[in-house]
Amino acid sequence: MTFIKLTLLAMIIAFFSVKLSWAHPGFRFGRGGHHGGISFGLSPQFYQFSCPQANDIVMSVLEKAIAKDMRMAASLLRLHFHDCFVQGCDASILLDDSRTIVSEKNSGPNKNSVRGFEVIDEIKSRLEEACPQTVSCADILALAARGSTVLSGGPNWELPLGRRDSKTASLSGSNKNIPPPNATIETLITFFKRQGLDEVDLVALSGAHTIGVARCATFKQRLYNQKGNNEPDENLEKSFYFDLKTMCPKSGGDNFISPLDFGSPRMFDNTYFKLILRGKGLLNSDEVLLVGNVKETRKLVKKYAEDESLFFEQFSTSMIKMGNLRPLTGFNGQVRKNCRRVN
């Protein structure tokens, strides 16, 4: 009898293992799991059977959104970054204020700055029609970041999927963990190391500034009072400095915008690094990669300026690494029906 029971139990486990792994390839039965012998990992094939059209749906929405608004690609890339640096890549940044949630959207780095929420809403709505309660908002952010990079002429990469969505947000974490635009090189390295990211990741991921814009408020200090002596940043190339002054006055104009990479603001390329070498990095956090007295970051800026394919390769690697920051998997978290609120 005992043998028969054990055989039946083995058959049941095998059956459910096959069912789960077909529905979600990231679900695996075996040693090393944290839930009764089940291990949960991210996998590029996670939606292979449960929602094979997921990426096509994401790309179709992105194509229209980016064609309508050239800034949107950079905005969606930034959303993923700002999400992953707070509680891990769990879509906590998408949660609105509610009775139980204090939204990260109101933090210093995010308020009047992060955007693209309506595009994420549209992607989620389309995915819910096709595959109800299957694709998480956290994975949508990761897919949208990759898709935005590709549609801007940048690299593609095999993206691990299977993240689940948080039931919480962290306003304090958002205020504390996202590097400020006026950061020194030491501060940047500290912020990235806190996330398990190194100097190579820092320089490569900073290359996302090859697209997008920044508000005058984020670089005004460099124009008028870099060291508290009412003098501009000496590292700014002169003609670039005068151009910036015309669109970013000393008082007012905080919401005026300038391209982060004025050489090719719509194209994901390595022009960003070439501009830094010429004293034309817009943010302090851009320029210090070169002038911040850290040999490794200076060397990488020069390498990526010379070799775009090397930059693309490392950007892809670092995006995968960042996208793997403390994801919720398995039975943790949930798949939200609406990305703005907990189920």
Span between the terminal Cα atoms of the chain, in Å: 45
Which residues define the annotated binding site for heme b? 209
d(CA 232, CA 188): 21
The active-site residue out of 34, 35, 80, 82 is 82
Which residues define the annotated binding site? 83, 86, 88, 90, 92, 104, 179, 209-210, 261, 269
* Pair of tokens at residue 173: 């974490």
CB 165 within 8 A of CB 90: yes
Which residues define the annotated binding site for substrate? 179
82 assigned to active site? yes
Which residues define the annotated binding site for Ca(2+)? 83, 86, 88, 90, 92, 104, 210, 261, 269
Kindly write down the DSSP assignment for every residue of 6-70, as one continuous string.
HHHHHHHHHHHHHHHHHH-TTEEESTT-SBTTEEE--BTTTTTTT-TTHHHHHHHHHHHHHHH-T
d(CA 29, CA 263): 51
Q: How far is CA 241 from CA 64, 75, 264, 266, 281, in A?
A: 35, 25, 18, 22, 10
Burial 265-302 (b: 16+ CB within 10 A, else e): bbebbbbbbbbbeebbbbbbbbbbbbbbebeebbebbe
d(CA 86, CA 98): 19
d(CA 251, CA 248): 8
Kindly write down the DSSP assignment for every residue of 192-215, as one continuous string.
HHHTT--HHHHHHHHGGGGS-EEE
Sign, CA dihedral 282-150-321-96, equals positive
Which residues are tagged catalytic?
82
